[in-house]
Structure 1
Amino acid sequence: MNEWLEQVEQLAQLMAQRGLTRLEIEIDDARVQLRRAPTPATPHDTETMPPLFMTGFPAEASPANEPEESRWTPPAVLEVRSPLVGYCTLAPIEVGKRVERGETLATIEVLGIPNEVSAPVPGILQEWAVENGQPVEYGQVIARLQPLSEE
């Protein structure tokens, strides 16, 4: 019974994260329908959510006439985070290998539904932060990339 309750709670979290007002799922002979009232996002809500990945881009572009030393430089390491709670299956990419923007790094499975997590920028895979098949939380670091220019 506790397992069902946990799964329903995960579905409710998924609905809130995706802004869904209705979700219906059928597994084997069990059927679950969830509904919630739409809630508009407030600035407070978005401030408390951890980012899915750190892009490393500044909030404002620096002027072109700024001295070279004070210009923004990209981060040495970019963290790719889980957008959902679920089980993580890692892509067969070895540490030290190059990945392209949009390349699938992992799949987060929530109640049998796969959700791909892609590389936000081209880069070198520096580290897997989770084990293959491990349960992950929302916002948990999955991988660390060394960003490369897109030339």
Structure 2
Amino acid sequence: MLKIQEIRELIKLIDKSSIDEFQFENDGEKIVLKKNEVKIQQAAEPQAPAAVPFAPPAQPAPSAPAQSAAVEAPETPVAEKKQEDANLHKVESPMVGTFYASPSPENPAYVKTGDKVSKDSIVCIIEAMKLFNEIEAEVNGEIVEILVENGQLVEYGQPLFLVKAE
């Protein structure tokens, strides 16, 4: 039988994923987890009230030129940031799981911002299905930013670190 903590972890993982239904059977016990179940009858009823909240945002249309000017100003830093990002390597999660910055709670983190790493350096652990997978830096360089918190659930392909490659 699954422990309550294991069930909670399953719920979190399923909630963060694109899976809509999960079934687990073991020794005659069955767990079924479902999310995003939408019935057509329920969707038809809220449409009339939903139109009211959308009406006020549509009214400020005359001020749209001012808004677009405000939007253009932040785009310049975004373009600069994209150029900076081109020089940075993203260490991405190879799986769905839980991110751990250190091998155990008593130990210090594998890396912190400003640390030099080689492509073989272990930068974190991703726990998936009770297996602890060591994640390597993949490039030689310096850790510029840590993008996730210790104990956070991560998705496949989610950036974990930004490394300034040498």
Q: TM-score, normalised by structure 2?
A: 0.45
Q: TM-score, normalised by structure 1?
A: 0.50
Which has the greater radius of gyration? 2
